[in-house]
């Protein structure tokens, strides 16, 4: 069953740049009301001044327990209910085995995993108030499918998010709340512009957002793109570990 993303109350995290900003603009054009969250207040306020009737700004550092601790109360002040929640905020940092830095793993985990859980817990009571087919959408990553070089922090945070949502989907099913997980491949944003390696089949934010909206409206449980990157990763995740290790060596950076 298709449920159009129109005239809904939507909360989107990571709305200030990249995929989240593009998605926010697309959803505003479809007459949705948005609560937008990120740390960069000025970008969110610009969105609000462009769409004063439709945007509520809720600034928060999701990696900070104190800042995120106010989310539940702030959301309740912003709207009566939420129909769709898009948990998209995230950062990417790669591990360097010559410079083991636990604070890097902590930063990535606090933002991508615990920040996501904090957001979700704040949103669930508001989703329960919706009478409009409520929906949780989590933006994970294609890197959640299988261990990739230097992705010990980022890949693990996205795989944890995937696992959390797969479990939640079972527990929340009887309440009529759908759960979709998004697995983007490479998308041209601030996040990937920091990468110094080849990124096959990279999409623009517009191409990514088209795919996300289509999948969310179809209530797909898994929204993974582009297929030409996703299928090899899925197949790699099914290979015996010894075979995968042999093949995966080719992806390791040679210094
Ligand atoms: N680009 C890709 O190729 C790709 C691929 C797979 C998955 N993804 C995922 O897609 C999502 C969006 O990424 P993007 O590529 O659009 O990156 P981006 O352009 O860097 O945007 C990331 C968004 O997350 C927000 N954010 C980061 N840390 C935050 C924090 N502590 N508290 C609140 N908000 C925070 C940022 O806002 P502020 O900086 O203003 O706080 C920004 O709005 C991420 O979860 C990423 O892992 C991206």
pLDDT in tens, 46-85: 999 999 999 999 999 999 999 999 999 999 999 999 999 9
Give the confidence band of 24 by pLDDT, cuts at 50, 70, 90.
Answer: very high
Sign of CA dihedral 69, 75, 81, 83: negative
Q: Which of 85, 105, 84, 83 is nearest to 94 (CA)?
A: 105
CA of 239 to the centre of ligand 1 (A): 31
Q: What mean pLDDT, rounded, does the chain reach?
A: 96
> What's residue 255's pLDDT?
64
Convert the pLDDT of each residue in 82-130 to its tens digit: 999 999 999 999 999 999 999 999 999 999 999 999 999 999 999 999 9
pTM above 0.75, yes or no: yes
Q: Going from the N-terminus, what domains does the chain have, and what CATH number goes with each?
A: 9-251 (3.40.50.720)
> What's residue 201's pLDDT?
95
First to last CA, the chain: 51
Convert the pLDDT of each residue in 175-214 to its tens digit: 999 999 999 999 999 999 998 888 899 999 999 999 999 9
Sign of CA dihedral 216, 217, 222, 226: negative
> How far is residue 165's CA from residue 123's CA, in Å, rounded to a whole number?
14
CA of 190 to the centre of ligand 1 (A): 8
Which pair of tokens denotes residue 195?
A: 């990468």
CA of 10 to the centre of ligand 1 (A): 18
Which pair of tokens denotes residue 56?
A: 């509520």
Question: Which of 35, 90, 162 best tests ligand 1's pocket when mutated (most atoms within 8 Å of CB)?
Answer: 90
């Amino acid at each position: 069953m298709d449920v159009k993303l129109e005239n809904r109350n939507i909360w989107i995290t990571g709305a200030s740049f990249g995929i989240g900003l593009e998605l926010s603009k697309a959803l505003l054009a479809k007459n949705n009301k948005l609560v937008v969250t990120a740390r960069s207040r000025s970008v969110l306020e610009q969105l609000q001044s462009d769409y004063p009737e439709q945007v509520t700004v809720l600034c928060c550092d999701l990696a900070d327990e104190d800042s995120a601790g106010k989310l539940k109360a702030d959301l309740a002040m912003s709207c009566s209910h939420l129909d769709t929640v898009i948990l998209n905020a995230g950062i990417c940092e790669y591990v360097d085995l010559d410079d083991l830095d636990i604070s890097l793993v902590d930063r990535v985990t606090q933002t991508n995993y615990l920040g996501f859980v904090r957001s979700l817990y704040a949103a669930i009571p508001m989703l329960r108030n919706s009478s409009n087919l409520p929906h949780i959408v989590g933006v994970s990553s294609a890197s959640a499918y299988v261990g990739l070089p230097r992705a010990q922090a980022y890949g693990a945070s996205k795989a944890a998010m995937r696992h959390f949502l797969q479990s939640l989907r079972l527990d929340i099913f009887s309440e009529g709340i759908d759960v979709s997980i998004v697995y983007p491949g490479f998308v041209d944003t601030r996040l990937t512009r920091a990468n110094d390696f080849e990124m096959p089949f990279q999409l623009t934010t517009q191409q990514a957002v088209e795919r996300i909206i289509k999948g969310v409206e179809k209530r797909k449980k898994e929204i993974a793109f582009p297929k030409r990157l996703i299928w090899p990763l899925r197949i790699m995740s099914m290979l015996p570990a010894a075979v995968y290790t042999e093949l995966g060596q080719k992806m390791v950076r040679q210094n």
